[in-house]
Amino acid sequence: MKTRKIFFKIKALLISTPTILSNFKCKIFDQYFPNRKYNSDKYLIIANQNEISVYNLFSNNLIGKYVASFSIPPKTVPYKDGFYEFVIKKDLFDENILGVFN
């Protein structure tokens, strides 16, 4: 059976794909990393105890969001050994991101 979720243990994660965008300005990347150069990373995942945000940096869009206070019952993001642990459904991403980790 194929898994439909991906387990993450992070604070922040940039995910690159083979696609390179030359001279592209990414507002969301600049907001979170004002002193870094953008290198065609496609996805950004940011986590804290109250929320998880998933961005598509190519489109400058928020594509997924978890907010603890909107859950019933409210459930914070687990924090273990300095990292937040959570799963994200694979179909949130518009391509197979597992291939970028190989």
Tokens of 73: 């019952």
Res. 81 pLDDT band, cuts 50 70 90: confident
Rg of the chain over CA atoms, in angstroms? 14
Alpha helices (runs of H) in the chain, residue ranges in sequence order: 27-32
Omega prior to 34 cis, within 30 of 0: no
Give the model's pLDDT for residue 51: 95
Res. 19 pLDDT band, cuts 50 70 90: confident
Distant-in-sequence, close-in-space partners of 24: CB < 8 Å, separation ≥ 6: 38, 40, 58
Domain boundaries, the chain: 5-101
Higher pLDDT: 22 or 58? It is 58
- Across the range 85-90, mean pLDDT stands at 88
Contact 56, 94 (CB under 8 A): yes
- Across the range 16-35, mean pLDDT stands at 88
pTM of the model: 0.82
- Across the range 12-36, mean pLDDT stands at 87
